């Protein structure tokens, strides 16, 4: 992923791949769409809420970074680290550049964990919910849903900011 303005040339992944590759390709496609929407704006614009709930482009990036970490690193691998706060506001010392870098690092770590999984049916170490630990298949599918929902939010926020539409 690169720090560029939203692009219309992002394309969905190929249809000829195995299940894990397909799931990761769709997830990466959506991740790139979110990052592209948050990039290339003045700092204050990217952090200004566009709706009464307080959602901004940078808050979406911060949230998705935490969600990546919480599901793949904390839940699936069982790493003994604190859960990331996925609902907090963006403090003044966090910039678009640092948040996008952290998002890309979380994505790289998540992809490494997913690629190392040799059985999508194997459950992880624990769950973020009051359920048994989910499988890697469930986590990948959930992350596609989660990221797609927020990519749609990012689309609307960016269009409100400067009229940019498309991926």
CATH number at residue 132: 1.20.120.450
d(CA 114, CA 93): 31
Within a domain: residue 89? yes
pLDDT of residue 7 exceeding 60, the answer is no
pLDDT of residue 159 exceeding 80, the answer is yes
pTM of the model: 0.90
Averaged pLDDT of the chain = 91
Within a domain: residue 8? no
Within a domain: residue 116? yes
Question: Confidence band (pLDDT; 50, 70, 90) for 165?
Answer: confident
Within a domain: residue 24? yes
Beta bridge partners of 123: 135
107 closest CA partner among 34, 28, 26: 28
Q: What is the mean pLDDT of residues 77-82?
A: 92
Within a domain: residue 88? yes
Q: What is the mean pLDDT of residues 8-32?
A: 82
pLDDT of residue 22 exceeding 80, the answer is yes
pLDDT of residue 129 exceeding 70, the answer is yes
Give the pLDDT of residue 13: 65
Structure tokens at 94: 């966090």
d(CA 161, CA 45): 8
Give the pLDDT of residue 5: 42
Helical segments of 39-56, H only: 43-47
Question: Confidence band (pLDDT; 50, 70, 90) for 106?
Answer: very high
Q: What is the mean pLDDT of residues 100-126?
A: 97
Within a domain: residue 83? yes
d(CA 64, CA 147): 7
Q: How many domains does the chain have?
A: 1
Domain assignment of residue 79, given as a range: 19-162
Within a domain: residue 5? no
């Amino acid at each position: 992923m690169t720090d560029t303005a939203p692009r219309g040339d992002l394309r969905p992944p190929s249809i000829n791949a195995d299940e894990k590759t397909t799931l990761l390709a769709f997830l990466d496609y959506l991740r790139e769409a979110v990052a592209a929407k948050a990039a290339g704006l003045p700092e204050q614009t990217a952090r200004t809420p566009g709706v009464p709930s307080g959602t901004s482009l940078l808050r979406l990036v911060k949230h998705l970074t935490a969600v990546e970490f919480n599901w793949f690193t904390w839940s699936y691998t069982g790493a003994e680290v604190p859960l990331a706060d996925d609902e907090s506001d963006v403090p003044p010392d966090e910039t678009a550049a640092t948040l996008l870098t952290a998002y890309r690092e979380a994505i790289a770590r998540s992809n490494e964990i997913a690629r190392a999984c040799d059985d999508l049916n194997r459950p992880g170490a624990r769950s973020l919910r009051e359920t048994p630990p989910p499988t890697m298949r469930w986590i990948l599918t959930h992350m596609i849903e989660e990221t797609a929902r927020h990519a749609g939010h990012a689309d609307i926020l960016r269009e409100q900011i400067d009229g940019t539409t498309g991926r």
